Amino acid sequence: MAARDLTGGSVRGHLLRMSGFMLLTMLVQTAYGLIDIFWVGRLGRDAVAAVALGSNLMMALMAVAQTLSVGATALVAQAAGRKDFDEARRLFTQSQLLSALLALVFLAVALALYGPYSDRLAGSAEAARLTREFLVPFIPAMALQIPMFVLSAALRGVGDVRTASLAQLGTVLLNIVLAPVLIFGWGTGRPLGVAGAALATLLSVLAGLSGLLIHVLRQNRFLDRRATAWRPHPTLWRRIVRIGLPSGLELALLAFYFGFIMAMLQRFGAAPQAAFGIGMRVLQFGMMPAMAISFATAAIVGQNFGAGRPGRVRQVFVDALKLNLTAVGLFCVAFHLAPDALIRPFSPDPEVIRYGAEFLRWISWNLLAMGVVMACGGVFAGFGNTLPSLFGTVLRFGFIVAAGLLLSSRADFAPVWLWALSIAGALLQLGLNLLLLRGQLHRQLAPLERTSLA
């Protein structure tokens, strides 16, 4: 297996190159999410709330995919950094087998529970009906994304971000084209509404995963085709899961947090739920550059840590932090100064616009803290120890949920209280992550620094 060597050359150059490919894909993917909600917004607030509720399950899926992705990236990158390509290929193959099995489990569980989920959290009976309609084709689409995400992560571990980025980019572009056709029945005369949005995602993911698999199989460098290589190796699975599980639990907490917020907003009707769904899509757009840099940071730290290059590991964090703060700072200003303009294209409903603008104006301050948190998270993932990131997330969401439940009993409780609590929670997470990062840098790099001086 040939891997791109990230242990030499400019650290910032590697960060910009790798994150640039991933950012392009993420931005287009997030743009699709915004375009999707734009079209669904034409169907009314209940439809927007339904898609927001349905998409929350994507966070649960991402918890599974992230567990495998982070573990696969870290272990494959460290093996590549040591130039142990046989081990890298073995890890690559086993991560794909595990992802396929978990995709089947996710599919079965989600299909069994989507009905009660829709009825329990929707703000109206119509929103509940539309959520169920949306989830029928959307659940298989989500299941297929588990192997797609893990395959992309394993490719990042060997320094190949171009292939995965192009496959994901093609998937998103196809989704953008199919969505309005299926939602409104353009050219077919058979509008499918919210189900059309989900069906567009399913068809696009099928195409993207197929293209990615064809490329990997043609290369004959990544997957081990011997039958013995595809026998389950629980020891390797435990290594992958042990590294990635804290990161996956972070996303599971995010899914819980999203559901908690939707439940807190239920008393105010579908408008604030729809506004929160739109606002989260816009917020994700602002966080994309920092997320891309964080993923690149994990791969670069992993290879340099595996190669015993402590000075470069520290430099990766410094450069990632600078890039993150620059990127999120620009979006922070935009969200604070023009929130109405960012919500209005996705809903003509004045109430949705008012709630959405209020959300963005408050939550804009979170971006700066999240930029630092993501830079720390990239280093933790590269070390193969994502527990510190999990601790920070638990502190943040635990504070918001506990304080939110306490304050929700007040007669004057309003959605804006939740956004203020979110800012306080982000600051708590920021402080803890920096403290834990300092300890990790000393613990992981001090032995390497002593060895290099000897």
Query: Taking a C-beta distance cutoff of 8 angstroms, is the pair 275, 48 a contact?
Result: no
**Three-class DSSP category at 160:** coil
pLDDT of residue 28: 64
* Across 262-286, average pLDDT: 83
**Residue-wise pLDDT tens digits, 23-54:** 776 666 666 666 667 777 778 778 877 777 77
pLDDT at 3 over 70: no
pLDDT of residue 384: 79
Query: Taking a C-beta distance cutoff of 8 angstroms, is the pair 182, 122 a contact?
Result: no
Place of tokens 């959405």: 356
Q: Which residue has the higher pLDDT, 374 or 269?
A: 374
DSSP one-letter string for 17-58: HHHHHHHHHHHHHHHHHHHHHHHHHTT-HHHHHHHHHHHHHH
Place of tokens 């059309």: 196
How far apart are the C-alpha atoms of 299 and 310, rounded to whole Å? 14
pLDDT at 376 over 90: yes
- Its pTM surpasses 0.95: no
pLDDT of residue 85: 76
pLDDT at 225 over 70: yes
* Across 213-226, average pLDDT: 76
pLDDT at 421 over 70: yes
CB count, 10 Å around CB of 354? 15
pLDDT at 355 over 80: yes
How far apart are the C-alpha atoms of 69 and 61, rounded to whole Å? 12
Of the ranges 104-118, 146-160, 213-227, which one carries the lowest mean pLDDT score? 213-227
The pLDDT-based confidence of 417 (bands split at 50, 70, 90) is very high
* Across 221-247, average pLDDT: 80
Of the ranges 130-134, 135-139, 249-253, 347-351, which one carries the lowest mean pLDDT score? 249-253
- Please, what is the Cα angle at 299 between 326 and 218, to 5 degrees? 125
* Across 216-231, average pLDDT: 75
Tell me the Ramachandran region of residue 10: left when phi exceeds 0, alpha when psi lies from -120 to 50, beta otherwise: beta
Closest to 436 measured CA to CA, from 368, 365, 371, 383: 383
Query: Taking a C-beta distance cutoff of 8 angstroms, is the pair 389, 376 a contact?
Result: yes
pLDDT at 424 over 90: yes
pLDDT at 453 over 60: no
pLDDT of residue 375: 92
Q: Which residue has the higher pLDDT, 420 or 40?
A: 420
pLDDT of residue 6: 74
Query: Taking a C-beta distance cutoff of 8 angstroms, is the pair 57, 256 a contact?
Result: no
pLDDT at 454 over 60: no
Tell me the Ramachandran region of residue 190: left when phi exceeds 0, alpha when psi lies from -120 to 50, beta otherwise: beta
Q: What is the mean pLDDT of the chain?
A: 83
Place of tokens 């190669």: 307
pLDDT of residue 25: 65
pLDDT of residue 374: 92
pLDDT at 237 over 90: no
pLDDT at 351 over 80: yes
What is the separation of C-alpha 92 from the centre of its chain, rounded to a whole number of angstroms? 21
Query: Taking a C-beta distance cutoff of 8 angstroms, is the pair 142, 110 a contact?
Result: yes
The pLDDT-based confidence of 430 (bands split at 50, 70, 90) is very high
- What percent of the chain lies above the pLDDT cut of 70? 93
Sign of the dihedral through C-alpha 323, 446, 83, 218: negative
Residue 46, Cβ density class (10 Å: 0-12 exposed, 13-18 middle, ≥19 buried)? buried
pLDDT of residue 40: 79
Query: Taking a C-beta distance cutoff of 8 angstroms, is the pair 47, 348 a contact?
Result: no
Of the ranges 9-18, 160-169, 288-297, which one carries the lowest mean pLDDT score? 160-169
Sign of the dihedral through C-alpha 379, 382, 385, 390: positive
Contacts of 214 (CB under 8 A, 6+ apart): none
Residue 336, Cβ density class (10 Å: 0-12 exposed, 13-18 middle, ≥19 buried)? middle
Contacts of 405 (CB under 8 A, 6+ apart): none
pLDDT of residue 348: 81
pLDDT of residue 452: 59
pLDDT of residue 233: 85
pLDDT at 202 over 70: yes
Sign of the dihedral through C-alpha 430, 432, 438, 440: negative
How far apart are the C-alpha atoms of 350 and 172, rounded to whole Å? 30
CB count, 10 Å around CB of 235? 8
pLDDT of residue 317: 92
- What percent of the chain lies above the pLDDT cut of 90? 15
* Torsion angle of C-alpha atoms 292, 68, 79, 318, degrees rounded to 10: 30
How far apart are the C-alpha atoms of 365 and 421, rounded to whole Å? 12
The pLDDT-based confidence of 126 (bands split at 50, 70, 90) is confident
How far apart are the C-alpha atoms of 121 and 23, rounded to whole Å? 33
- Please, what is the Cα angle at 378 between 333 and 163, to 5 degrees? 95
pLDDT of residue 92: 80
Q: Which residue has the higher pLDDT, 430 or 19?
A: 430
pLDDT of residue 31: 64
